Structure 1
Amino acid sequence: MQLQLDSNENIEIIVSVHDDYIDTRKTRLTESFLITPGEIIPQWRPKRSTDIRSADLERLLSTEAEIYLVGTGRDQYFPGALELQSFIRVGKAVDFMNSRAACHTYNLLASEGRKVAAAIIIESE
């Protein structure tokens, strides 16, 4: 699925989403990753939504964004309260959606100049 490009070349944008890879302006990602307007952090640990642990979400929280998104692969998945403790402790919200929706939402928010961070799962077979 092609996504519309933002005209600001200085921010990280996702240009296409496929089941087994995601393209940004600069690179093709085949493993789960974190993205903010300023950087791409490859090799985020979870391979599937059920692999998400508290430490994985703490890594997302460490980006110090204002808006946090998690793309949970092909299907939407909500982790339990134990995994969400890091966000609950600091009073921040995190939105969970399938990875295609998270990529689209990330692009929209990043192109608006928002401080957004997304963790995107690319499911391993």
Structure 2
Amino acid sequence: MKFQLDEQQGGNSISRHDSDQVWVNGQPHRHSLLVPWRGEVQAWGAESFEGLGEAHFERILALKPELVIFGSGTRLRFLRPAVYRSLISARIGVDTMDLAAACRTYNVLASEGRSVLAALLIETPA
């Protein structure tokens, strides 16, 4: 799906996505990534839903979002809260959605100037 969004100055926007890649600021990404509302898009190092652990979510703390939108892949799947306990302890909200909904929601919140971060899982085929 392709999105049309007014780009905010200095902010990141997700312009397009499909099941195996996401375009941020016009650049395609074929791996899981962290998309902060401002700053550098980062590879996340998550290859599968089953492989996600506490360390994946602890990396997010340094980026200091107020809300994390977790895109769980092509279908909606929920993690055990213990996996993202570091975010809960830091009073950072976490919302889980499938990849498509996460991309749309991230764009809306970022366009409102919210300090949101999209943690997008793009699973590597076996």
- Given the two structures, how large is their TM-score scaled by the length of structure 1? 0.90
Give the Cα separation in 1 of the matches to 2:30 and 2:21. 4
How far is the alpha carbon of 1:10 from its aligned partner?
2.1
2:93 is matched by which residue type in structure 1? A
Offset of 1:120 from its aligned partner? 0.5
Q: TM (normalized to structure 2)?
A: 0.90
SS at match of 1:95: strand
What SS does the aligned partner of 1:34 have? strand
Q: Aligned residue for 1:124?
A: 124
Is contact 1:60–1:118 with CA below 8 Å preserved after alignment? no
Does 111-120 or 86-95 show the bigger shift? 86-95
> What percent of counterpart residues are identical?
31
Task: Note the C-alpha offset of 1:9.
Answer: 4.2
- Give the equivalent residue in structure 1 for 2:112: 112
| In 2: Cα distance, 1:26 partner to 1:7 partner | 11
Q: Is the deviation greater in 47-56 or in 3-12?
A: 3-12
Equivalent residues of 2:65, 2:116 under 8 A apart: yes
Aligned residues: CA RMSD: 1.5
CA distance in 1, matches of 2:80, 2:38: 30
Q: Tell me the number of residue pairs that the alignment of Structure 1 and Structure 2 aligns.
A: 125
